[in-house]
Structure 1
Amino acid sequence: MEKNKTIFSQFQTEHYIFAIFLLLIIFSLYFSLTSPLTKAISKNETIYGLLLGCDEVAYAKHADTIIVFSYLPKEKSLNLLFIPRDTRIESTVPRGNYFRNKRINEIYAYYCRQEGNSQAPASFKKVIEEFLSSEEKQIVIPYYCQLDYSSFVKIVNLLGGIPIKIDKVMDYHDSWGKLDIHFEPGEYILNGKKALEYVRYRDESGDTERTVRQQRFLRSIFAKIKNPLLFFRLPLLLKEAVAKIQTNLSFWDLLNLSSEVKNFSPDNLRILYLPGRPDSNLWIPDKGKIGPVTELLSVSRLEEIKPEEKISTEETVLPTVTAEVWNATEQQGLALRMTRFLRRQGVDVIKWGNYGEKKQSTLIIDRTGDLKKTEKVKSIFPGNDLISNIEPERMVDVTIILGEDCLKDKKILK
């Protein structure tokens, strides 16, 4: 009799477990099918969002990192538009002239004080929409995520650290902001604290170099996430995300996005930079050039570039591409040698010379947004950083800043 009760009890337990599992599947399907984000992914519609990385000080919270992203599900392509935190803005949302000539991160601090941390991202999103919109095109950003420093540290630690190669000495001390950063050149596995220092570091090069570092960091994160062993940490990562991130994405949306990330290639990541110029401690945006940049948010980096059109560095046929080449190494005459090499590849180099400062890594800068031309040049420099900073007045399609790494290429040094 006792044995029969035990068997019956086990039978009930198994049925309870099965019922709970079945309910989870039903809930997952229901929330997935009713989610606007999931519907957009299934229809291959471009998904727009706002990412905010925020500092933590006693009297205010500022947006230290501001990124508008677009994800194209069909191409599995991700575009990131970096907006410098010191960008001057003349928004009138929502208090008339109050926001005229303000730093963009000061506006976020205002919303945090007035509405609280939970409501600030939604209000700030409207400011970004107005800032990027024009009479010809209205920018609508449905989603937002705001991550503070402590959550960033925890998430990186849950990922097991992020591998990064550092090219030069990084030294920064800010007693007021309680920030001390020091890295020697070399290869690192950065834990959460060190990863935060790496992405926050700024030097005399300003936000451009910082953006390049953040691009490398993101590429490394995407490569790390593709590790199958991280599947078992996914519940902890999502738990941390739901608990700490201020977002209008649901748990099921985050779960769906995590499955998309598994199929994402870092090669399909494109970095866009807000056009403008530095002025003292401000970044003055060029409103006339913002439109072409926002247009690129709806285009895949590899769109219309068919596999058979990609060439190796041995080929000599390229579409007409104009470029400028700058030597950021101690090797005399490198810019001229690179100019001759690129001309043999069909690239029309119209300007070359010395850059004025030394760099370890070569940087490719898209100046017009012409994807096909940029990718053709990028194929000559595989593995190097590429950003889009639209400046048509430079009269070139691409800027190439030569770093020490290109000295290892024997084809160039012939």
Structure 2
Amino acid sequence: MEEIGLVLRSVLKYAAWTVLVASVAAAGLAAGVYLSVANGGAVAVGGHSFRMPWSGPPPFGGRDTFTVLVLGLDEKARGNQHSPQRSDSIMLLQVDLKTPSVKGVSIPRDTLTTIPGREHQDKINAAYALGFAPLSIETVKALTGVSPDYYLVSDVGGFQKMVDLIGGVEIDVEKDMNYDDNWQNLHIHLRHGYRHLNGYQAMGYVRFRHDRLGDVARMQRQQKFLKAVVRRAFAMSNLPKLPEIVREARKAVVDTNMTTADLLYMAQRLKGLNDSQILLETLPGVPQNIHGVSYWVLDDEKAHEVISKVFGTADVPTAATVEVLNGTGRRGLARQVAQVLAESGFKVVRVANARDGVHDTSTVLFRPESQEGAMAIANLLGTSDVQSASDGRKKLPGDTDITVIVGSDYRQENAL
């Protein structure tokens, strides 16, 4: 009985991973979680069946919808104890326990963005190395306008073993993949076509990035792989492997602010999830080489559309409609301002780049009936350049009451 108790405590502690099938770092753990709740919350060990007790405060504070930031740590950095770890995989998920469904966006690790407290922009994956999960959360919030309710940091060291434990995955390999890196002991040799991949081959498939789109293509493969894991992880043939799956799961947990009750409840509610209930997008942009360093530079307007599609936007019918234009060379700044305005009750309908070059001064343009809102925005952003569009020389789009052009004089600390 003591051994059974140890297994049960392990299940309770690590059963969270079903809901994180949308994360590469957590993908291999889905089977262990599902099997622990496959029979209405009961676990079968050694011929005995045990039902999970629910007690204490309601999971997730009684909410059915919430957001989770999932970070998978850089495997290469783990080989050097003196090198700070960066987040290799970054996903922001929205979990709906009623539907059920999981939606989310992958954020390329090379995304150029502003990290709070840093003077210069950097790759978004540097946030974890500089301030661990708290700074990563603040950085993702500033970039997307979505504040994660929960976070989970995982180590992908057990990835290969976990895939082998669930019996491998079926993947339609989109092209021949060949790559050798003796330093990392990474050797990828996959043929085009529908293949059954074992753990080592699956690791190569999701890590391959030697094509035109680099990390973006790699994330698309990760998303494809995750759906294959969902299909395989829920196979009942994995039931006898539960103890071993749980032991491997223990190696991957690094940090999370979700409780055991939260995780078990989420797993139970999502146990029937299929790949049609998972929507994953990638924040759009273009690769750019800046001063010899490769970055992923977001397309502000398209990225805003993707974020709105996945997470929705606040709709305040009585609020003025606002477009925010970036009149500087600082990437992502318009989206930061849009977040400030949305949190203040304005309905942001568009985020884009200004077409008439760089603006030294931030400007607020408004229709006569929206003057009060324009003055409130000017106060929020710390600018005094407020202009009416009533003279006909300045035209606003038909769906816009106020246009905000963010100039080079804008500083985040000026925003109230």
TM range (shorter): 0.5 to 0.7
Task: Report what 2:107 is aligned to.
Answer: 83
1:225 aligns with 2:233: yes
| Correspondence 1:51 to 2:64 | no
Rounded to whole Å, the distance in 2 between the matches of 1:242 and 1:248 is 16
Question: What is the distance in 1 between the residues matched to 2:270 and 2:243?
Answer: 15
- Shift, 1:84, TM fit: 0.7
What's the % identity of the aligned pairs? Answer: 27
Matched, 1:190 2:197: yes
User: Could you say which residue in structure 2 is the equivalent of 1:29?
Assistant: 54
SS in structure 1 at match of 2:130: helix
CA deviation vs aligned residue, 1:1-60 (integer Å, no higher than 9, x gap): xxxxxxxxxxxxxxx9xxx99xx98973115x53226x22xxxx3221112222233123
2:108 and 2:283 in contact (8 A); partners too:
yes
Equivalent position to 1:109, from 120, 129, 134: 129
Matched, 1:163 2:163: no
CA positional deviation for 1:242:
4.4
Conservation of the 8 A alpha-carbon contact between 2:158 and 2:251? no
Residue 130 (1) aligns with residue 149 (2): no
Give the secondary structure class of the aligned counterpart of 1:208.
Answer: helix
How far off its partner does 1:101 sit?
A: 2.1
Size of the aligned set, in residue pairs, is 261
Per the alignment, in what secondary structure is the counterpart of residue 108 of structure 1? helix
Tell me the equivalent position of 1:349. Answer: none
CA contact (8 A) 1:143 1:249 kept: yes
Structure 2 stretches lacking a partner, 5+ long: 10-41, 43-48, 313-350, 353-416
Q: 2:211 aligns with which of 204, 213, 218?
A: 204
Contact 2:102 2:277 in 1 (8 A): yes
Deviation at 1:234, TM superposition (A): 4.3
2:86 matched to which residue of 1?
62
Aligned residue type for 1:154: K
Deviation digits for residues 136-193 of structure 1 (CA, Å, limit 9, x no counterpart): xxx2212222222312223223322222221321012334544321212243332322
- Structure 1 CA distance for aligned equivalents of residues 194 and 122 of structure 2: 39
Q: Is the 1:151–1:245 Cα contact (8 Å) retained in structure 2?
A: no
1:232 offset after TM fit, Å?
4.3
Taking structure 1 as reference, are residues 192 and 60 closer, same or farther at Cα in structure 2, changes over 3 Å only?
farther
Judged with a 3 Å threshold, the aligned counterparts in structure 2 of structure 1 residues 237 and 143 are, in CA distance, closer, same or farther, namely farther
Q: Residues 15-414 of structure 1 correspond to what in structure 2 (within 5 A)? A: 28-31=53-56, 33-36=57-60, 39-40=62-63, 45-54=64-73, 55=75, 56-58=78-80, 59-92=83-116, 95-97=117-119, 100-111=120-131, 120-133=132-145, 139-206=146-213, 207-234=215-242, 236-246=244-254, 247-280=256-289, 281-298=294-311
8 A Cα contact 1:76 1:265, kept in partner? no
- Judging changes above 3 Å, is the alpha-carbon distance between structure 1 residues 169 and 25 closer, same or farther for their aligned structure 2 residues? closer
* Equivalent residue, structure 1, for 2:340: none
8 Å contact 1:80–1:271 — kept in the other structure?
yes
Q: Is this contact kept in 2: 1:238–1:254, CA < 8 A? A: no
Do the aligned partners of 1:222 and 1:261 also contact (CA within 8 Å) in 2?
A: no
Question: SS in structure 2 opposite 1:145?
Answer: strand
Find the aligned partners of 2:125 and 2:238 in 1 and give their Cα distance.
Answer: 34
Paired letter, 1:241: A
Amino acid at match of 2:92: V
- Cα distance in structure 2, aligned partners of 1:225 and 1:260: 16
Q: Deviations over 1:310-357 (max 9, x none)?
A: xxxxxxxxxxxxxxxxxxxxxxxxxxxxxxxxxxxxxxxxxxxxxxxx
- Deviation of residue 198 (structure 1)? 1.1
Query: Offset at 1:236?
Result: 4.3
Provide the secondary structure at the position in 2 that maps to 1:30.
coil
User: In the alignment, is the contact (CA less than 8 A) between 2:211 and 2:217 conserved in 1?
Assistant: no
Aligned residue in 1 for 2:382: none
How far residue 231 of structure 1 moved from its aligned partner, in angstroms, is: 4.0
2:114 is matched by which residue type in structure 1?
Answer: E
CA distance in structure 2 between the partners assigned to 1:197 and 1:287 by the alignment: 32
Deviation at 1:66, TM superposition (A): 1.0
Structure-1 separation of matches of 2:147 and 2:239: 33
When the two structures are superposed, what TM-score results if normalisation uses the length of structure 2?
A: 0.56
Q: Is the alpha carbon distance of 1:297 and 1:217 closer, same or farther for their aligned partners in structure 2, counting shifts above 3 Å?
A: same
- C-alpha separation between the residues in 2 aligned to 1:186 and 1:288? 36
**Partner SS state of residue 49, structure 1:** strand
Task: Please tell me whether the aligned partners of residues 190 and 201 of structure 2 are also in contact (alpha carbons under 8 angstroms).
Answer: no
Cα distance, 1:86 vs structure 2: 0.9
Q: Is the 8 A contact 1:122 1:144 kept in 2?
A: no
